[in-house]
Each structure stands twice: as C-alpha cells, then as structure tokens.
C-alpha cells in the first residue's frame, strides 16, 4: 500500500503515519513493527510518550533501511530554552538509537517559552543534520506567525489536533500559503467522531469505514498529513487503506459542514487557542 508523500522544500513526509501515544514498552514495539510490516513509513513519537526506546527497537528490528522511514519526535514543554531543549533532544536520539530524526518538534508552547532561544536550538540542530526538518506543535496562530516572522528556524511542520469536528481552517490559512505541512493529531477524534451519522453514511456509500472517511477527508487537504494511533494490525491496515479512498466533492462538503468546535486534547498548560476554532 503506497501512501502519498508530501514534499515541500523542507521535508518529504508520508501523508499517513502511525501515532504511538499512549503505547509503551513491548506493546509499542509490537505495534510499530506491525505498522512497518504493513507499509507505514512514518512514525510519530515524543520524549513525553516514554516509548522512544520501543520505537527505536522496532525500527532496528524491522530491517527497513532507515532512509525509508520518516521519524518524528517532540521535546516536552518543560524545556523552554535552547540549552535544555538541546540536552533533551540528545537523550531522545540515544533512546531512539538514531543518529538523526526526520522531524523534531517543540511539543507544546509553555508560558515560560523563550521562543528565540528554542528556535535557535532548532536551527542549529537542523544545520548539524541531527534533525532533518524542524517544526512546532500546538502553537496557536499568533505564536506561529511570531515564530515565522522571527525567521530563525526553517519551520517545516505544524502538528495540531485536527479532525472532522476541528478543522483548523485559521491555521491552514497560515500553513498552506507558507508551504508548511500540517500534521493532524487525534485525526479519528479518539474514535468518537467516527460515530457521527454523516461519517457513517458516507462510509456506507463507499464500502469504507468511518475511520477511513475521517482520514481521507484530512488527506484531501493540501499539505495535510495524519498520524492515527492504532494498536492492532487490523486497524492499522484499515487506516492505511484510507490513503486510497477518494471522497466526492459532496462528501467533502458534508464533512466540512459539520460543527468544528470539538477539541479532545486541552490540558491545563495548553495555550489560549485561536477563536473561533474553525
Ligand atoms: N502533538 C501533540 O500534542 C499530540 C497530542 C495527541 C496525540 N498526538 C499524536 O497523534 C496520535 C493520534 O492521536 P490520538 O491517539 O490522540 O487519537 P486518534 O488517533 O484520533 O484515536 C486513537 C483511538 O482510535 C482508535 N482507533 C484507531 N483506529 C481505529 C479505527 N480504524 N476504527 C475505530 N477506532 C480506531 C484507537 O484504538 P486502538 O489503538 O485500540 O485501535 C484509539 O483508541 C498519537 O498517538 C500521537 O502520536 C500528538
């Protein structure tokens, strides 16, 4: 099963990847091995997930050439300056048993974030080849614009929650013209949005599943990738097959018309999100 690759001047990312939160240990290793066996070539992990060792072990065990796999990690928000960010990333690379990652993200902005300092660290890690591409996650529009205006690091990706009930149009209006890939996290809405009758109806018409419809809607957008998490090979295969589902204009419009205000990931330390949540 071949997945389209989103190619910009700054990265080449398979549009569908495997999310690994909250898998850990042997379960994570087995899930990543299974996904790689099915044809996934994009794996999403993070320092905070506590599974980088398992992800690294699965990649090593797969026997797949490292250059064929797109590996993302993220550094947690308690490293708000360049020095602590760099040190944490060095430890991530060790746990992953990797000389580099394909994408390194600032996981969340924190109120203590020293933006120029962390962007400078990203720029250096990129220049040193330790992070082939760099970006940010959970940045609201104003902060993303600020990071882009500083022009310190070559921001290639914004990873945010995005699904049929949270469209993130305001952020897409920034990322798409800037040639920045948006990676959708929680693309299945934790499984909850899949019960919506609009999704189940479209799925039935296509002989597809609601998860495939939810993912195909995201992948229909310019420069959008998605990292659904699935522990079992059956669901991983189901999600991967979404890459070949083509929805009609009417299907896309029906999903676009759903309310876009459902946010599943909103921890106490989250920034003030853009309003309205388009
Ligand atoms: N940057 C960030 O701050 C951030 C935040 C949250 C998540 N993420 C990333 O995004 C990834 C995905 O997000 P998520 O895990 O929050 O949510 P998600 O991918 O939207 O949903 C995962 C849930 O959906 C179930 N599922 C998977 N495939 C399914 C299918 N075909 N049909 C029905 N249910 C299905 C999974 O169950 P089973 O596994 O049991 O199949 C799991 O319970 C994470 O793993 C992580 O890598 C990043």
Chain-wide mean pLDDT for the chain?
Answer: 97
CATH class of 5-256: alpha beta
Would you state the pLDDT for residue 277?
A: 46
Ligand 1 and 271: CB distance under 6 A: no
Q: What share of the chain is helix, strand, coil (3-state, %, to 5)?
A: 45, 15, 40
Ligand 1: distance of its center to the CA of 153 in Å? 29
Range 141-169 average pLDDT: 98
Element (H, E) at 170: helix 169-178
Kindly list the domain boundaries of the chain, sorted by start residue: 5-256
| Residue 278's pLDDT band (cuts 50, 70, 90) | very low
For the stretch 236-266, pLDDT in tens is 999 999 999 999 999 999 999 999 999 999 9
Ligand 1 and 70: CB distance under 6 A: no
User: Is the pLDDT confidence value at 53 over 90?
Assistant: yes
User: Is the pLDDT confidence value at 33 over 90?
Assistant: yes
Ligand 1: distance of its center to the CA of 185 in Å? 7
Would you state the pLDDT for residue 1?
A: 66
Would you state the pLDDT for residue 190?
A: 84
Cα-Cα-Cα-Cα dihedral sign, residues 55, 87, 120, 172 = positive
Between 16-20, 42-46, 189-193, the lowest mean confidence (pLDDT) is in 189-193
Task: Give the whole-number percent of the chain exceeding pLDDT 90.
Answer: 96
Is residue 49 part of the annotated active site? The answer reads yes
Mutation probe of ligand 1 site: the residue of 161, 164, 185, 214 with most atoms within 8 A of C-beta: 185
Tokens of 194: 């899949």
User: Is the pLDDT confidence value at 275 over 70?
Assistant: no
User: Is the pLDDT confidence value at 225 over 70?
Assistant: yes
- Helices 25-38 and 52-62, interaxial angle, to 10°? 40
Ligand 1 and 137: CB distance under 6 A: yes
Distance of CA 137 to CAs 58, 141, 162, Å?
Answer: 25, 11, 12
Ligand 1 and 235: CB distance under 6 A: yes
CB 56, CB 97: distance < 8 Å = yes
Mutation probe of ligand 1 site: the residue of 43, 72, 230 with most atoms within 8 A of C-beta: 230
| Residue 192's pLDDT band (cuts 50, 70, 90) | confident
Ligand 1: distance of its center to the CA of 227 in Å? 8
């Amino acid at each position: 099963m071949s997945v389209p690759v989103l190619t910009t001047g700054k990265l080449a990312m398979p549009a569908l990847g495997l999310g690994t939160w909250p898998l850990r240990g042997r379960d994570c290793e087995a899930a990543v091995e299974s996904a790689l066996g099915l044809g996934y070539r994009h794996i999403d992990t993070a320092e905070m997930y506590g599974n980088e060792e398992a992800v690294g072990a699965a990649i090593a065990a797969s026997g797949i050439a490292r250059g064929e796999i797109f590996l993302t990690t993220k550094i947690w928000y308690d490293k708000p300056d360049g020095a602590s960010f760099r040190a944490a990333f060095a430890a991530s690379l060790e746990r992953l048993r990797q000389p580099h990652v394909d994408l390194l993200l600032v996981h969340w902005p924190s109120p203590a974030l020293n933006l120029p300092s962390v962007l400078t660290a990203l720029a250096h890690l990129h220049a040193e080849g330790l992070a082939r591409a760099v970006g940010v996650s959970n940045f609201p529009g104003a902060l993303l614009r600020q990071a882009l205006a500083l022009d310190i690091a070559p921001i290639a990706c914004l990873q945010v929650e995005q699904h049929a009930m949270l469209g993130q149009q305001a952020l897409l209006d920034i990322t798409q013209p800037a040639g920045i890939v948006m990676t959708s996290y929680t693309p299945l809405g934790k499984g909850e949005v899949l019960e919506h009758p609009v999704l189940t109806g479209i799925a039935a018409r296509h002989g597809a599943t609601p998860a495939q419809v939810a993912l195909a809607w995201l992948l229909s957008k310019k420069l959008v990738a998605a990292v659904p998490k699935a522990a079992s090979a059956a669901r991983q295969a189901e999600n991967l097959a979404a890459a070949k589902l083509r929805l009609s204009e009417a299907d896309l419009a029906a999903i676009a018309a759903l309310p876009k205000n459902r946010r599943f990931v909103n921890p106490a330390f989250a920034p003030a999100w853009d309003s309205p949540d388009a």
